[in-house]
Amino acid sequence: MAIAASVDTRPFEHHVLDFLAYLEFERGLSRNTLEAYRTDLLQFGAFLDRTGVQATEATHQDLARFLAALASGDGERPPAAHATLQRKTACLRSFYRHLRREQVMEHDPTADLRSPRASQKLPQVLSRDEVARLLSAPKGTDPAALRDRAMLELMYACGLRASEATGLEVRDIDLRHGVLRTRGKGSKERLVPVGREAITAVRTWLDRGRPVLVGVEEESHLFVNRRGTGLTRQGLYKIVQRHARAVGLDQKMSPHTLRHTFATHLLAGGCDLRAVQEMLGHADIATTQMYTHLSADRLRDVYFSAHPRASAR
């Protein structure tokens, strides 16, 4: 008799919660990864509802159509980035392996599932002048302006992810020695040098801005909101977008723009690829090598604009 001969009638949400509990308690995945997987599965569930398919009856074609729809985008959402599609594909594979392991399904519809072909579009980066405009956008000496200036300076100085910037604690930065400790993907720690401008901005924030917002409360996070509690990633995105919009850069900004710019500017300035890999916290140097193409494009632009015989006048 087949193990899963009867149709599983439990709702999709039950399987999602069971899967996430398995990832948290048995696999020990980080809270950020769990939240990303939960979002991915809820999005997949909404797609199944629209197409009238049960998760336990989904086929390879159903899953491929879901990923293809994300890759192409629609009128409300732009096409998903390749890294996002890869994560969603990995999430679906892991989810259906779990259903098989729990004997909910006999077959695995993700056995031959592949994420759509990678886009060749390189991430946007800011020029040096554009970075200067963005970093000078927070005006005034009120606590929020001091925080925003320090946060933008630090993200550009250290190539921080949004989650890394919001996760920083006061103890993670050594202003005297100019070094910062951050925890990246998989809670892997790394040390990153901090430049002079960022040190000055952070010191000003710690001396004159943060105490006003935190007051007498105990709060470990380096960057806090107006209530004196840790800043969220959503809050950080809004801050970055607000200042980018103020200087006409909102069309070029994404959560990762300052990180991309950090890596590109270092490589264009002659920094060793392995050193940039260490500072970014990339497990595979192939990920870092993407920025060598960006640097080559930047150098090409400089060449054609500056060399007197590079192009027709």
pLDDT digits (tens, 9 = 90+) for 244-287: 999 999 887 876 889 999 998 998 888 888 998 999 988 878 77
Q: What angle do CA 216, 230, 183 make, to 5 degrees?
A: 125
Q: Does 61 lie in the same domain as 160?
A: no
Residue 7 has a pLDDT of: 53
Per-residue pLDDT, averaged over 189-216, amounts to: 94
Would you say residue 122 lies in a domain? no
Residue 116 has a pLDDT of: 66
**Is the pTM for the entire model greater than 0.95?**
no
Q: Does 92 lie in the same domain as 197?
A: no
Task: For residue 5, name the pLDDT band (cuts at 50, 70, 90).
Answer: very low
Residue 2 has a pLDDT of: 41
| Residue 73 to residue 8: CA distance in whole angstroms | 32
Would you say residue 153 lies in a domain? yes
Who has greater pLDDT, 211 or 84?
211
Residue 59, judged by CB atoms within 10 A of its CB (0-12, 13-18, 19+), counts as: exposed
Q: Does 287 lie in the same domain as 172?
A: yes
Sign of CA dihedral 120, 164, 35, 232: negative
Would you say residue 230 lies in a domain? yes
Per-residue pLDDT, averaged over 200-223, amounts to: 94
Element at 189 (helix H, strand E): strand 189-193
185-189's contacts with Cβ under 8 Å and 24+ in sequence apart are 185/30, 185/281, 185/283, 186/30, 187/30, 188/281
Hey, what amino acid is at 298?
R
Answer yes or no: 256 catalytic.
yes
Tell whether the model's pLDDT for residue 1 goes beyond 50: no
The single residue of 37, 96, 156, 291 carrying the catalytic annotation is: 291
Q: What is the SS3 assignment for 206?
A: helix
Task: For residue 299, name the pLDDT band (cuts at 50, 70, 90).
Answer: low
Tell whether the model's pLDDT for residue 74 goes beyond 70: no
Tell whether the model's pLDDT for residue 222 goes beyond 80: yes
Sign of CA dihedral 10, 16, 17, 22: positive
Q: Judge contact between 134 and 243, C-beta under 8 A.
A: yes
Answer yes or no: 243 catalytic.
no
Beta bridge partners of 183: 189
Answer yes or no: 50 catalytic.
no
Count of domains for the chain: 2
DSSP string for 14-56:
HHHHHHHHHHHHTS---HHHHHHHHHHHHHHHHHHHHHT--GG
Answer yes or no: 82 catalytic.
no
The single residue of 147, 256, 265, 298 carrying the catalytic annotation is: 256
Q: Does 142 lie in the same domain as 31?
A: no
Q: Does 50 lie in the same domain as 194?
A: no
pLDDT digits (tens, 9 = 90+) for 120-176: 556 788 989 999 999 999 999 999 999 999 999 999 999 999 999 999 999 999 999
Share of the chain above pLDDT 70, in %: 86
Q: Does 302 lie in the same domain as 181?
A: yes
Q: Does 238 lie in the same domain as 157?
A: yes
Residues 6+ apart with CB under 8 A from 214: 224, 228
Answer yes or no: 171 catalytic.
no
pLDDT digits (tens, 9 = 90+) for 93-112: 999 999 999 999 888 899 88
| Structural domain that includes position 30 | 12-101
Who has greater pLDDT, 91 or 184?
91
Q: Does 26 lie in the same domain as 78?
A: yes
| Residue 216 to residue 213: CA distance in whole angstroms | 9
194: tokens are 């901090």
| Residue 313 to residue 308: CA distance in whole angstroms | 8
Tell me which range, 45-59, 183-197, 292-306, is most confidently predicted by mean pLDDT: 45-59
The single residue of 210, 221, 282, 298 carrying the catalytic annotation is: 282
Q: Does 248 lie in the same domain as 147?
A: yes
The single residue of 15, 147, 149, 161 carrying the catalytic annotation is: 161
The single residue of 65, 185, 233, 252 carrying the catalytic annotation is: 185
Task: For residue 32, name the pLDDT band (cuts at 50, 70, 90).
Answer: confident
Looking at 25-34, 152-161, 304-313, which range is the least confident one? 304-313
Give Cα 77 to chain centroid, integer Å: 18
Q: Does 274 lie in the same domain as 175?
A: yes
Answer yes or no: 291 catalytic.
yes
Residue 298 has a pLDDT of: 62
The single residue of 259, 260, 265, 298 carrying the catalytic annotation is: 259
